[in-house]
Amino acid sequence: METTLRGVGVSHGVAIGEVRHMGTAVLEPPAKQIPADEAEREQGRARQAVEAVAADLMARGNLAGGEAQHVLEAQAMMAQDPELIADVERRIAVGSTAERGVYDAFAAYRALLANAGEYLAGRVADLDDVRNRIVARLLGVPMPGVPDSDEPYVLIARDLAPADTALLDPALVLGFVTEEGGPTSHSAILARALGVPAVVALPGAGEIAEGTVVAVDGSTGEIFVGPSDEKRAEMEAAAAARKAALSATTGPGATSDGHKVPLLANVGGPADVPAAVEAGAEGVGLFRTEFLFLDDSKQAPSEEKQIAAYRAVLEAFPEGRVVVRVLDAGADKPLDFLTPADEPNPALGVRGLRSLLDHPDVLRTQLTALSKAAEGLPVYLEVMAPMVADRTDAKAFADACREAGLEAKFGAMVEIPSAALRARSILREVEFLSLGTNDLAQYTFAADRQVGAVSRLQDPWQPALLDLVALSADAARAEGKSCGVCGEAASDPLLACVLTGLGVTSLSMGAASIPYVRATLAKHTLAQCERAASAARAADTAEEARLAAQAVLSGE
pLDDT per residue over 534-546, tens digit each?
999 999 999 899 9
Asked whether the predicted pLDDT for residue 78 surpasses 90, the reply is no
Positions annotated as catalytic residues are 186, 486
Instruction: Give CA torsion, residues 494, 496, 500, 506, to 10 deg.
Output: -160
- CA-nearest of 456, 471, 382 to 182 is 456
Q: What is the pLDDT of residue 113?
A: 62
**Residue whose C-alpha is closest to residue 355's, from 339, 343, 366, 368:** 339
> What's the confidence (pLDDT) of residue 189?
74
296: confidence class by pLDDT, cuts 50, 70, 90: low
Which position has the higher pLDDT, 163 or 87?
87
d(CA 422, CA 418): 6
Higher pLDDT, 349 or 414: 414
Write out pLDDT tens, residues 343-384.
Answer: 777 778 888 999 999 999 999 999 999 999 999 999 999 999
Percent of the chain with pLDDT over 90: 56
Instruction: Give this prediction's pTM.
Output: 0.70
Predicted confidence band of residue 507 (pLDDT cuts 50, 70, 90) = very high
Tens of pLDDT, residues 89-146: 999 999 999 999 999 998 887 777 655 544 444 466 677 888 888 998 898 877 767 7
Pick the most confident of 31-35, 290-294, 354-358, 426-430: 426-430
Residues 386-390: what's their mean pLDDT?
97
Neighbouring residues of 518: CB distance < 8 A, sequence distance ≥ 6: 246, 249, 250, 251, 253, 263, 280
Report yes or no: 507 and 261 within 8 Å, Cβ to Cβ: yes
pLDDT at 556: 67
Q: 471 pLDDT band (50/70/90 cuts)?
A: very high
* pLDDT bracket for residue 285 (50, 70, 90): very high
